[in-house]
């Protein structure tokens, strides 16, 4: 049985993240989405909220579960018993960052494989930070996130 982890800050989960989780669920026996508990960036949603939003978005995927984690992603993978770390790739900028992180992770955990799924064309431009920027400026992002996430965003931005 091959278990994979899909780590990220998911602030909040978007259709792009969900697409990667869905595709990973078709490739691996079990996918554990890991929501960073303490990422080094300012977040809109609490860890509990981010876990809840992703769990609801992925509720139809039977072999996907969502948990919070802290510390190194390679340690999270090892503790979970996962041999694979899944990441999504949108652009060349993503690639540069992921390439470096991949190399660093390999030095720490040679037994953990990292698998990169290229973003669907429809989500290439989609990032959680851009979504929040659009919301802050009064735009709508309903077509880019699950309905309950759109509602949660509207509540945060008091709309
Ligand atoms: P980070 O892990 O850097 O905090 P995110 O939480 O936004 O970034 O994303 C988690 C993972 O999902 C990363 O591998 C990221 O590249 C991927 N991802 C983000 N947005 C998309 C998208 N629109 N399509 C595919 N993959 C994405």
Query: What's the pLDDT tens digit per position in 65-88?
Result: 999 999 999 999 999 999 999 999
The alpha carbon of 20 and the centre of ligand 1 are apart by a number of angstroms equal to: 9
In whole angstroms, give the CA distance from residue 8 to residue 20.
12
At residue 41, the pLDDT reads 67
Residue nearest to atom 16 of ligand 1 (CA): 88
For the chain, the domains span 3-156
Sheet containing strand 84-89, edge to edge, reads 64-69, 30-36, 3-8, 84-89, 113-118
Three-state DSSP at 143 gives helix
- CATH code for the part of the protein at 3-156: 3.40.50.620
Query: What are the structure tokens assigned to 61, written together?
Result: 């995927």
At residue 64, the pLDDT reads 98
Find out whether the beta carbon of 128 lies less than 6 Å from any atom of ligand 1.
yes
Find out whether the beta carbon of 34 lies less than 6 Å from any atom of ligand 1.
no
pLDDT digits (tens, 9 = 90+) for 5-26: 999 999 999 999 999 999 999 9
Predicted structure pTM score: 0.95
Residues ≥6 apart with Cβ < 8 Å to 149: 12, 13, 14, 53, 57
pLDDT digits (tens, 9 = 90+) for 91-104: 988 999 999 999 99
Mean pLDDT, to the nearest integer, of 61-66? 98
If you count DSSP H runs as helices and E runs as strands, how many of each does the chain have, helices first? 6, 5
Find out whether the beta carbon of 21 lies less than 6 Å from any atom of ligand 1.
no
Find out whether the beta carbon of 86 lies less than 6 Å from any atom of ligand 1.
no
Q: pLDDT > 90: what percent of the chain?
A: 94
For a mutational test of ligand 1's pocket, the pick from 31, 37, 90, i.e. the residue with the most ligand atoms closer than 8 A to its C-beta, is 90
């Amino acid at each position: 049985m091959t278990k994979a982890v899909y780590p990220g800050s998911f602030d909040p989960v978007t259709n792009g993240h969900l697409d990667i989780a869905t595709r990973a669920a078709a490739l691996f026996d079990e996918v554990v989405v890991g929501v960073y508990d303490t990422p080094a960036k300012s977040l809109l949603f609490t860890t509990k909220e981010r876990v809840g939003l992703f769990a609801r978005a992925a509720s139809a995927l039977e072999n996907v579960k969502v948990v919070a984690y802290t510390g190194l992603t390679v340690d999270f993978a090892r503790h979970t018993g996962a041999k694979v770390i899944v990441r999504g790739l949108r652009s060349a900028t993503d690639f540069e960052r992921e390439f470096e992180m991949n190399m660093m992770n390999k030095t720490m955990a040679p037994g953990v494989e990292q698998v990169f799924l290229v973003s669907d064309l429809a989500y290439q431009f989609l990032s959680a930070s851009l979504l929040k920027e659009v919301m802050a400026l009064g735009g709508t992002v309903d077509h880019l996130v699950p309905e309950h996430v759109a509602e949660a965003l509207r509540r945060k931005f008091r709309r």
